[in-house]
Structure 1
Amino acid sequence: MRPTAPKIGFDRFIRLEWAKKALEVRTGLAELDDLDVLLDEAHSGPSAKKKTRTVLNRLWLEPRKDLEPLAEHAVELFQSMPSVSPATLTWGMAIVTYPFFAKVAEIVGRLTSLQGDCTTAEVHRRMAEIYGEREGTRRMTNMVLQSMSDWAMLDRSSNGKILTRKNAILIDGPDLVRWMIRVILEAAGRPIKLGSLEARPEIFPFELGENLGFVVSSSTYLELATDSAGNQIVSSKV
């Protein structure tokens, strides 16, 4: 029996203004009707709108039960930190909710790590190796790349063939840094060496800053331990 190709899930272009409005709805700063107005203006019919709502639901409005604590933590940060970017929070929720999105982010992060740019053809080739040579893989990869660009996390050339890193965004504040580390651990599904957190390719648009050991050790939901080789290992308590 041939193995089943991984599911895609993230199958729509998601504008940042839609994601931000969905986050505001979850936070109580907006109503569902406000989100519906935005989606009605941008979609030609109910079917297209429904598919977009499905992605937004999974990101913010109705996340999986196991991701509810992470989404609620993001809501608390959004309420308490006026400077926090909805794009940063949505990126975090996207990589834990949608492995397909996380894999595109990982591949782009790796390909752009040396020279700062790569071609979309390279990304498509690597995604096809994982998800199969099918039209859906190519089209949905484009959806993710288009979303990343709209969120101002990645530059695309006018013809869409070249992807260029932007200057990394410094995640401001220990609470937000701890939340992003929690995201990384959730996406990886395992403990991670402290020294490798900053270099995780799936968070290539961001910098975690300095003193990560102190930031982790002062957390109530992250744990810092030392393995037999002397490496500091970060894990989640929840």
Structure 2
Amino acid sequence: MMTSAPRIGFDRFISVEWATAALKVRAGVAQIDDLETVLDAAGFGAAARTKTRTVLNRLWLEPRLELKSYADRGAAIFKAYPEMPAATVHWGMAVATYPFFGKVAELIGRLSALQGDCASAEVHRRMSETYGEREGTYRMTNMVIQSQADWGAVQRAEKGKRVFRLAPTVVENDELTVWLIEAALRYAGKPLAISSLQSQPVLFPFNLTRPLAYLVSNNEYLAVRSDGPNNQYVALRDMI
């Protein structure tokens, strides 16, 4: 039985540098003291540092029980392919861990699909519909967008009024491709049509170039099922 995910949780700006320092600890290529040094350099006050560490702990250092294997596999991919932008695995882990982060990503992906940009006010409006119209929702949505910008997925313009997609990262690695698809499945919490995997809004920063139907059919963590001759779905094996 899966434990309940935190409702919001991702309530701080998280720079790619801080997240990568935590990931390196998870991957066994750095020590916790190295992360503390990076956080020291950020000049946090005591409360801000504690809250930032809480997000980093949940993201990489102390993931929820059902995400430990997923985090370990993400860290192994990062370690095996040092040329890969670390933000790629940060994105997958954040989407799988934090529904709030995933919802912002999904909305930006949907709203910017046609023209490559969207109004941040529209993202805020739709987040408020789900999480309530309160100052915290607005502020935390801004924190997620700011983080996504630092991770190289989007750019904010017109004093933050518009959000532009940046060029997607081309993903040509089979292992990483399936790992990102697993993130989308964990966020969705339900099977997804294989035909929709290439265009999942929550994965908008990535161009998945590999044969997705073949990859998901041959992955030990995923299961494919059919609903008619032309409708195939993929799901997490532990959710079936």
Shorter-chain TM band: over 0.9
| 1:72 to 1:121, Cα distance in 2 relative to 1, 3 A | same
Q: Deviations over 1:191-231 (max 9, x none)?
A: 11100011111111112114211112222222223213531
Using structure 2 for the length normalisation, give the TM-score: 0.93
Report the counterpart of residue 146 of structure 2 in structure 1.
Answer: 146
The farther-off stretch of 22-31 and 79-88 is 79-88
Q: Which runs of 4+ in 1 moved over 6 A?
A: none
Match status 1:164 vs 2:164? yes
Q: Deviations over 1:59-100 (max 9, x none)?
A: 000000010010011011112222222101011111111111
Offset of residue 12 of structure 1: 0.2
> 2 CA distance for matches of 1:214 and 1:43?
48
Report the counterpart of residue 72 of structure 1 in structure 2.
Answer: 72
After TM superposition, list the pairs within 5 Å mapping 1:98-109 onto structure 2.
98-109=98-109
Report the counterpart of residue 34 of structure 2 in structure 1.
Answer: 34
> 2 CA distance for matches of 1:80 and 1:208?
19
Match status 1:14 vs 2:14? yes
Using structure 1 for the length normalisation, give the TM-score: 0.93
Report the counterpart of residue 3 of structure 2 in structure 1.
Answer: none
Structure 1 residues without counterparts, runs of 5 or longer: 1-5
Report the counterpart of residue 188 of structure 1 in structure 2.
Answer: 188
| 1:125 to 1:189, Cα distance in 2 relative to 1, 3 A | same
Task: Give the partner amino acid of 1:172.
Answer: E
**What's the secondary structure of 2:167's corresponding residue?**
coil
After TM superposition, list the pairs within 5 Å mapping 1:108-147 onto structure 2.
108-147=108-147
Please give the root-mean-square deviation of Cα atoms over the aligned residues, in Å.
1.4
> 2 CA distance for matches of 1:205 and 1:70?
20
> 1 CA distance for matches of 2:81 and 2:214?
21
- Tell me how many residue pairs correspond in the alignment: 233
> 2 CA distance for matches of 1:63 and 1:136?
24
Structure 2 residues without counterparts, runs of 5 or longer: 1-5
Q: Deviations over 1:30-79 (max 9, x none)?
A: 11111112212213311110000000000000000010010011011112
The share of aligned pairs that are identical, in percent, is 51
